[in-house]
Amino acid sequence: MGHITGISGVEGSSLNYNRVMPQFLYHLKPARLGMVTEGPTPEEAETVSRHFAYLEDLTEKGVMILMGRTQNNDESTFGIAIFEAEDESAARRIMENDPAVAGGVMRATLYPYKIALMRK
């Protein structure tokens, strides 16, 4: 498959898809609960829009495997992003460059992860 270069958030790296890449998951929680219980402020809405575009771009580049959020709008709501990266440092850069994380709209925690089963 070759190399894919220019991945957003992984500047200067070249991802080699000829080998199995390590997988990571970041868990997202809203920094302000009111964003999901009452609705986002205009600034939060703009940041969430950029967050979605960022993840969509990484999906198109083959980095993101899946992402989504729970559909409840209370204190237990969360989102996840499962993706591949060269190593934990590269994975952390991807997470920290997420506009929702960088903008303080969401708090994120990074975990090493491995998909065990996936529907074909």
CA–CA separation, 81 vs 63, rounded Å? 10
Domain span at 46: 21-113
Confidence of residue 13 (pLDDT cuts 50, 70, 90): very low
pLDDT at 18 over 80: no
What's the number of domains the chain is made of? 1
Could you report the per-residue pLDDT of 54-106, keeping only the tens digit for each?
Answer: 999 999 999 999 999 999 999 999 999 999 999 999 999 999 999 999 999 99
Say if 79 falls within a structural domain. yes
pLDDT of residue 58: 98
What is the reported pTM?
0.82
Q: What average pLDDT does this structure show over 97-117?
A: 97
| Complete DSSP assignment for 6-69 | --TTSTT-EEETTSPPPEEEEEEEESSTHHHHT---HHHHHHHHHHHHHHHHHHHTT-EEEEEE
CA–CA separation, 91 vs 14, rounded Å? 14
Q: Give the CATH number of the domain where residue 57 resides.
A: 3.30.70.1060
Record the tokens describing residue 101, joined without a space.
């994380």
Say if 78 falls within a structural domain. yes
Confidence of residue 2 (pLDDT cuts 50, 70, 90): very low
Confidence of residue 19 (pLDDT cuts 50, 70, 90): low
pLDDT at 33 over 50: yes
Residue reference for tokens 């495997």:
65
